[in-house]
Amino acid sequence: MKIKNILLAGVSLLALFSCTDVDENVYDKYAADDFYSTPEGANSALAGIYAQIPGEFTRDGATGVGYAGADNGWYDMNCMASDEQVIPHRTDGNWQEDYARLHKHTWLPTEGIINNTWNWLYKGIFNANLAVGLLEKSNAEAAKIAEAKVLRAFFYYLLIDDFGDVPFYTDNNVTVDKIPQASRKEVYNFIVKELTENVELLYGTKGGDFYGRFNKWAGYTLLAKVYLNAEVYTGEAKWSECLAACNKVSDGGFSLHSGEASASSPLGNKYYELFGDVSPQDETILSIFATIDILSRNVYAVRSLSGPNAKALFGYDGWNGTIVPKEFYLKYADNDIRKKQFLVGEQPGGVNYTLDVPSLDNPGAPPQAGVRNIKFYPAGSNTGGGASNDFPIYRYADVILMMAECNVRLGNTGAAKPFIDQIRVRAGLDPLNANPTLDDVYNERGFELNWEGHRRQDMIRFNKFLLPNQFRGESPAFRKLFPIPTSALNANRGLKQNPGYPG
């Protein structure tokens, strides 16, 4: 059984806070300072932040808490708004319509998924502020303080990517209604400053106790992602800075995991080990640790397949939810090993998934309409509540593709080609016939990183997000940002709603 101490410590710490007896003795503050200066104390402070990333395991439905693994949270909000996946309302009455609204770009400030995401991100920031304060006050090891600050920067990066101008604070001694709203550029500058000042202080250790934690290489990958999208956030491109951060990650000794054929893989290639029970450390830079019935979960394959099909493959019923839109699926070459993750046509269990989906919401999709995805082929589970697959937040393949993109944008297309070709050859494809264009980079990112939480951001950066598709016309520009939730506006009257949305 997979066990990761710092994550489980986070669960235990949260349980301790929820069960504290207010009549217990209050211990001297200096004893607390001494505790957080120890390795055990510092890890306890960090665990409170890390516990937010995988979210909560629940037997009775998802809570919208966590980066990825469950549903109704950050992952769904970002991925369903892109062209790579959606859960349609079904003509048999199953599935609500908010996923369809996300895909059709008609979401509202009252959407539960948007509210869940906002609350989750600010819970992460609150816990990070708490940890930074405790660790700095106790003069804890510099690497541990740096880790807490990088984690805080991670949550703020996700916030500005989704919402633009957001409430900003680094000290928890302020009430919600008094937190000032900072511009996207101001928060971007804070994120860059925190990362550039702290990433070199992080541990360089990979795997073991640092599996699923921000080490130096994960920190530089985060910095690269921030620079990659700098032009979107501030109007000023940072391609050279992104490339420099990617080169730092390359110093960590990462490589692409093998794509060769493997009889032990349910999908026939070692490539799919990247999405299994434990993330391979040759390529995975940062992953979410999941153990079914203990910590987090991974619902993506079981949520996609219909009941009889999942029963035939996994031994338990599927949820008949998520599909891959036809246009996205058809872009894959037939000899691309990454196409093996998709199921269409006749399948075990007497199911026949159709390529065409006539409607997402009115009247909705027939029960067997839509291509399905088993990229995260379920591991470690014998129920339909999710699986033990860990989730890759950052992979070295992403870094390689960032290096390709930066070189193309800087005019160095010849330098970009070997990066693109590495990814293509691993997937069983030939190298490009010519130096890559931006469209080549964009397409390859879609082929390689689909269902891993990057697509909406990529579509915005490549000016593809607003383009019409099968289910909607061209979207207005304000849809590049999500609205600040109505509940947040009600709690803090000083906040200004994003343009285009009701305030």
The pLDDT score that the predictor gives to residue 26 is 41
The pLDDT score that the predictor gives to residue 4 is 57
The pLDDT score that the predictor gives to residue 294 is 76
Kind and range of the H or E element at 184? helix 184-198
The pLDDT score that the predictor gives to residue 503 is 79
Q: Tell me the average pLDDT across 272-287.
A: 97
Q: Tell me the average pLDDT across 262-267.
A: 94
Q: Tell me the average pLDDT across 244-266.
A: 97
For 288-318, write each residue's pLDDT tens digit.
998 887 778 899 999 999 999 999 999 999 9
For 449-498, write each residue's pLDDT tens digit.
999 999 999 999 999 999 999 999 999 999 999 999 999 999 999 999 99
Tokens representing residue 385 in the block: 């509540």
The pLDDT score that the predictor gives to residue 16 is 32
Answer whether residue 12 shows pLDDT above 90. Answer: no
b/e per residue 137-166 (b: at least 16 CB within 10 A): ebebbebbbbbbbbbbbbbbbbbbbbbbbb
Spell out the residues 6+ positions from residue 27 whose beta carbon is closer than 8 angstroms to its own: none
For 44-59, write each residue's pLDDT tens digit.
999 999 999 997 766 5
Q: Tell me the average pLDDT across 206-235.
A: 96
Q: Please, which pLDDT band fits residue 215 given cuts at 50, 70 and 90?
A: very high
Q: For residues 483 and 499, give the distance between their C-alpha atoms in angstroms, rounded to a whole number.
A: 8
Q: Tell me the average pLDDT across 359-376.
A: 97
The pLDDT score that the predictor gives to residue 56 is 73
Spell out the residues 6+ positions from residue 344 whose beta carbon is closer than 8 angstroms to its own: 329, 353, 354, 355, 371, 372
The pLDDT score that the predictor gives to residue 293 is 75
The pLDDT score that the predictor gives to residue 198 is 98
Answer whether residue 28 shows pLDDT above 70. Answer: no
Answer whether residue 30 shows pLDDT above 80. Answer: no
Average pLDDT, the chain: 92
Per the CB < 8 A criterion, the answer to whether 89 and 357 are in contact is no
% residues pLDDT > 90 (the chain)? 85
Q: For residues 477 and 499, give the distance between their C-alpha atoms in angstroms, rounded to a whole number.
A: 10
Q: Tell me the average pLDDT across 196-213.
A: 95
Q: Please, which pLDDT band fits residue 64 given cuts at 50, 70 and 90?
A: confident
Q: Tell me the average pLDDT across 358-384.
A: 93
Q: Please, which pLDDT band fits residue 11 given cuts at 50, 70 and 90?
A: very low
Scanning 315-385, the segments in alpha helix (DSSP H) are: 326-329
Q: Tell me the average pLDDT across 379-400.
A: 91
The pLDDT score that the predictor gives to residue 406 is 98
Q: Give, in order, the Cα–Cα distances in Å from 188 to each of 174, 284, 405.
A: 22, 26, 21
CA 207, 210, 214, 215 torsion: positive or negative? negative
Q: Residue for token digits 């008949």?
A: 320
The pLDDT score that the predictor gives to residue 214 is 98
Per the CB < 8 A criterion, the answer to whether 488 and 118 are in contact is yes
The pLDDT score that the predictor gives to residue 60 is 54
Closest CA to 185 of 236, 137, 136: 236
Answer whether residue 85 shows pLDDT above 90. Answer: yes
The pLDDT score that the predictor gives to residue 63 is 72
CA 200, 252, 425, 378 torsion: positive or negative? negative
Tokens representing residue 56 in the block: 């909560």
Per the CB < 8 A criterion, the answer to whether 317 and 307 are in contact is yes
pTM (two decimals)? 0.94
Q: For residues 200 and 217, give the distance between their C-alpha atoms in angstroms, rounded to a whole number.
A: 9
Q: Tell me the average pLDDT across 208-229.
A: 96
Answer whether residue 17 shows pLDDT above 70. Answer: no
Beta strands in 350-498 (DSSP E): 351-353, 372-373, 391-395
